[in-house]
C-alpha cells in the first residue's frame, strides 16, 4: 500500500513539473519519466546514512575489540586460578591451559590476532595482550595480574 502511495506521489510531482515546464514553453526530457523525484531524495538519504553507518562501525569496532579481549583475558585468568588450585602450580604457558580442548584454542590470540604473553614472576603471574598496535610494551597493552 505504501509503495502505491509513493508511486502516486511521484507521478503527481512529475505531472505538476511537466505542466509547469509546458507553461514556460519547455519540454521535460524523456528520462525524467524513469527517474522519480523521491528516488533522488531516497538515494541521497541512503548514501548519507550508509556513509555515517560505516564511520560509526569503524569507530565502534576498536572499542569492541578491547572489551572482547578484556573479557577473554578474564576467563583465561579464571582458568589460571583453577589450574593452580588443581595442580598446585601456575601454568608456564597458555598451552598448559588449552591442552587438548578445542574450545579453548581461541585463547592463544587476542582479538587482533596477536599472541597473549603469559609471564611468571616472584610477585605473581601476568597476562598481557599487545593491543591494537600488536607490540608489547606500548600504551595500548591490556594487562591482568594475579598476585601470589
Note the pLDDT of residue 38: 67
Which tens digit of pLDDT belongs to each residue from 75-85?
Answer: 999 988 888 89
Q: Give the residue carrying C-alpha cell 538519504.
A: 45
| Number of domains the chain contains | 2
Q: 59 and 104 share a domain?
A: yes
The DSSP bridge partners found for residue 56 are: none
Which tens digit of pLDDT belongs to each residue from 51-102?
Answer: 877 877 776 666 778 888 889 999 999 988 888 899 888 888 888 888 878 8
Which domain covers residue 5, as residue numbers? 1-30
Give the residue among 51, 80, 77 at the shortest CA–CA distance from 129: 77
Q: 13 and 42 share a domain?
A: no
Q: 67 and 2 share a domain?
A: no
Q: 44 and 62 share a domain?
A: yes
Element (H, E) at 38: helix 37-87
The DSSP bridge partners found for residue 142 are: 129
Amino acid at each position: 500500500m505504501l509503495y502505491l502511495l509513493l508511486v502516486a506521489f511521484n507521478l503527481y510531482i512529475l505531472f505538476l513539473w511537466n505542466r509547469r515546464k509546458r507553461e514556460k514553453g519547455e519540454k521535460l526530457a524523456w528520462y525524467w519519466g524513469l527517474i522519480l523525484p523521491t528516488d533522488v531524495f531516497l538515494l541521497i538519504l541512503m548514501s548519507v546514512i550508509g556513509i555515517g553507518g560505516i564511520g560509526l562501525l569503524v569507530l565502534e569496532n576498536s572499542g569492541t575489540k578491547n572489551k572482547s579481549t578484556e573479557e577473554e583475558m578474564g576467563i583465561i585468568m579464571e582458568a589460571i586460578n583453577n589450574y593452580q588450585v588443581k595442580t598446585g602450580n601456575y601454568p608456564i604457558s597458555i598451552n598448559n591451559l588449552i591442552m587438548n580442548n578445542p574450545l579453548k584454542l581461541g585463547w592463544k590470540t587476542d582479538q587482533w590476532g596477536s599472541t597473549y604473553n603469559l609471564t611468571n614472576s616472584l610477585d605473581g603471574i601476568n597476562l598481557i595482550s599487545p593491543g591494537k598496535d600488536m607490540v608489547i610494551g606500548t600504551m595500548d597493552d591490556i594487562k591482568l595480574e594475579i598476585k601470589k
